[in-house]
Chains A and B, each alone.
Chain A
Amino acid sequence: MHEPGSSHQARAPRTLVGLSAFCSLLLAGPAIYLLIRNFTADADPFGLLATDRVQGPLWRTIKLAVLVSVSAGVLGTGLAWLTTRTNLPFPKTFSVLLTLPLVYPTFIGAAALVRTLNPGGLVNDLLGNVGIDRTPTLSGLFGSWLVLTLLTYPYVFLPVAARFSRLSTSIEQTARLLGNSAFRVFFRILMPQALGSIVAGMLLVFLYAISDFGAVAILRYDTLTRAIETNQLANRPVALALSLTLLVLAAVVVIAERLAGRRRVDASTARSSTVTRLDLGRGRIVGIVVAATVVLFAVGAPLAALLDWSVRGLLTRNRTGRRLRVDTEEIVEITGNTLAVSAVAALCAVLIVLPIAILVGRYRTRVGNFGHAVAISTFALPGILIALTGTFFINQSDWTFNTFKNSMAILIFSYTIRFAALAMGTALLAVRAVPDRLRDASQTLGADSRRRFRTVELPLMRPGLLAAGGLVLLSTMKELPISLLLSPFEFETLSTRIFGTFNESFVTEAGLMALTLVAMSFVATWALIIRPMSQSR
């Protein structure tokens, strides 16, 4: 293991630094907006910090985020190991299924989980037949922790699985031959090599947990986001000050992770030509049970409620003759919208983080560190703030407003900012997948830098960049506040329609469209993330 760029003491190319600085500035938009609005609204974040009104929710937010990131870290790493390094059956199918929780918009995913698991829900009905009357209630800290863990562990699972599948098996085999147990090999050899990916994933989970509103609201846990939402209209300065508190909390954690992780870098290793998977022996059944249980709870439970809403709703409707509020033609149209806009957003997010990722991955610069920290911290901000940021900046002049209001550009741009953090981690891994000596060699052979990038580096980065884009794509497909506020008029996506119908209790329509969203995401996950990952082996 070595420091990034330690073999390249050369200074970073000026164009790269300039480009990164520009991208970093764009990514800093929401933070700048928030500071300006705190100032203009006379918000008093410091005074507010001293009150119970903030301290309670702040403490609960931190507690929840720490618990969720730890459990998602353990679960995500364990599942990544099972699917990539052991002889678990159907590893690819499991990989796709285990990624799926990412696609549930939290407001409907959490509600569906509650519908299935809570008292009187579907599971309760099933268990009632065998005489079990009451199931535990998901609520408060416990419920929020469980639901958020189930919805976010893929942020750890995906990068770690990608990392594991690229690690050489030779050291592992030698260690095993020398009589080390599978456990010892995992903790002493595999895990240290993937620690960077694990921590990066846990960081995303942490930030997701502090920014989440949908799940904690449904599960009745009073965190900062709930306090923000409650004060949004009632007391604007308080809502703004609380949002700033959230951003500062995120920045502190992101910077702390950078400082602590300075020496911990997942060094690039040559890809192994052969992958030998650990024979779990009798443990194989345990592996199957663990993976299947996670799939059952994280994917199956919400799916069950969605199916129940749709199918039961269609059946009762047949009887009562009430009209369905969406038709096939509309679902096809908004599905097309959703896919198109998400694909473009994914591409843009990868492009905006790539210069910063290359800079951070290969050189040591302030600009790189700053851009990286900004991109990642922004992930903790509620989506509504990113949407308002877009409106604020285009509203600085008649020309910008008239040009960009109602444009695809502002919508895509806002998605890009919102999800840059997701692309950043994976893009960084992709950059590091290019061995230094390979770049040196091609340089010595006289390839100019542009050609070198295209013919040598890009093919090596491809699976990582696809995965980065895939993560952004999946998240954009379910994004809500930005889609609602910045979509051109009359342009609707699956998530905006689901929100409208679900909120008004048209659960049948919401269920049908959510199922469409899950199906689309299933295909996207397979094509963009899992297939390239296994091909790169």
Chain B
Amino acid sequence: MNLPKRAALLAGFALLTSACGGSDPIPNNLEGAAATVYSGDCATATETEITIYSGRSEDLVQPVLDAFECQSGISVVTNFGDPTDLALQLVEEGDRSPADVFLSKSPGAVGFLRNEGILASLDGDVTSLVDSANVGGDNSWVGITGRQRVLVYNTDIVDEADLPASVMDLTDPKYKGQVAIPATNGSFQDWFTVFRAQAGDDVAAGWLEAMVANDAIVTESNRPTVDAVGRGEYAFGLVNHYYNFQEAEALGDEHRALNHSFAADDIGSLVIVTAAGITSTSDNVDESHQLIGFMLSEGAQSYFTNDSLEYPLAAGVSPAEVLPALGDDGADFDVTFDDLGNGLTRTVEIIENSGILSN
């Protein structure tokens, strides 16, 4: 936490001691995880400060932000929170918002902000760092990391032979009353919106209704779903891959669950991206681009995959060894998340009308 301050102090000290000798490089003083993100010299601290509203947890992004401060000399101020709440706050703050950059756990919140006209168009030199599938409409946001949709299952209850190849198979009677779906959660809703865009509303709504008829269980979000499957309260859960690794990490053998990936070309295997955008009211557009570029650099991407076990989206970084490989270079579908903001309203309507919320 004190790294930035310490960095600034050291920078000031270095300036004093070097007298009129110009700006000598400042040795890298990063510690812990931040040191793995960036190992070069630190830049001289500048006056510039950028403000980030982050719907991604401090536990995940702080090391990258610390490293960026060292690398760029730009200081970063953060407001961490729930992506939905932060998005509403941004709308309420309007033109006076101090936010420069918005980080989201999923495309839904950035899509919403784009519709509200709050996000600026990103420059091509940032958007070109990732596959075009991971860029929002009007270049309003860019994907930073990926989380794959998987079926988490309890290893004591489920026989591996019974694992389905497609998410569509879960409507089979043999899964009756066994599949938990966090239907009100952002990542499921984002997945469902892409599903609708790919397969059409009739197919998507039909699948959800069949899941309801098959007594699917509605849960709150990814974490409690994975927790419940790990205990054996439910046999299966439709979640993002990321959570099961963290739970297993904390609980060891007590946690009895594994991830199962559907076939690589199945809609059930979609990679949902975490995203970043720049506000249209930002006064620090260049510095904000610098930050997003830094998050897509090799050091940051390899930290994201090796430390928090997310899928890297840029700089040719390969996923951490424990992560199952995605299909060809991660872009399994011709998916654009473009519709996610607009599509969310209809998605929620379909989910509410399907009756799953009272299942």
Contact = CB atoms under 8 A, between A and B. Distances in A.
B327 interface: no
Interface stretch (B66-74, B75-83, B259-267): B75-83
A233 B82 contact: no
B135 to A, nearest CB: 20
A360 interface: no
Contacts of B349: 234-235
A118 B228 contact: yes
A503 B228 contact: no
A320 B86 CA distance: 35
Contacts of A118: 228, 231, 233
Interface stretch (A195-203, A249-257, A342-350, A387-395): A387-395
Interface string A380-404: 0000100110011001001001100
A316 B249 contact: yes
B220 A489 contact: no
Interface in A468-522: 481, 484-485, 487, 489-490, 492, 496-497, 499-509
A489 B77 contact: yes
Contacts of B189: 234
Interface string B315-359: 000000000000000000000000000001101110110000110
A450 interface: no
Contacts of B108: 233
Contacts of A329: 1
B88 A388 contact: yes
B16 interface: no
Q: Is the interface of A mostly helix, strand, loop or mixed?
A: helix
Contact of B80 (A320, A392, A500): A500
Q: Is the interface of B mostly helix, strand, loop or mixed?
A: helix
A53 interface: yes
B92 interface: yes
Chain A interface size, as a band, is 35 or more
B187 to A, nearest CB: 12
Contact of A312 (B57, B228, B252): B252
A45 interface: no
Contacts of A222: 218, 357-358
B32 A114 contact: no
A323 interface: yes
Given A218-B220, A485-B89, A235 B250 contact: no
Contacts of B226: 505
A242 to B, nearest CB: 12
Interface in B217-257: 217-224, 226-228, 230-233, 242-243, 246-247, 249-252, 254, 256
A121 B88 CA distance: 36
A500 B108 CA distance: 19
Given A484-B80, A489-B51, A316 B92 contact: no
Most chain B beta carbons < 10 A, residue from A234, A391, A401, A509: A234
A220 B58 contact: no
A120 interface: yes
A406 interface: yes
Contact of B249 (A124, A218, A320, A405): A320
Contacts of B174: none
A232 interface: yes
Nearest to A334: B1
B59 interface: yes
Most chain A beta carbons < 10 A, residue from B60, B109, B254, B357: B357
Interface of B: 1, 32-33, 51, 57-60, 77-82, 84-89, 92-94, 96, 98, 108-109, 112, 184, 189, 217-224, 226-228, 230-233, 242-243, 246-247, 249-252, 254, 256, 307-308, 344-345, 347-349, 351-352, 357-358
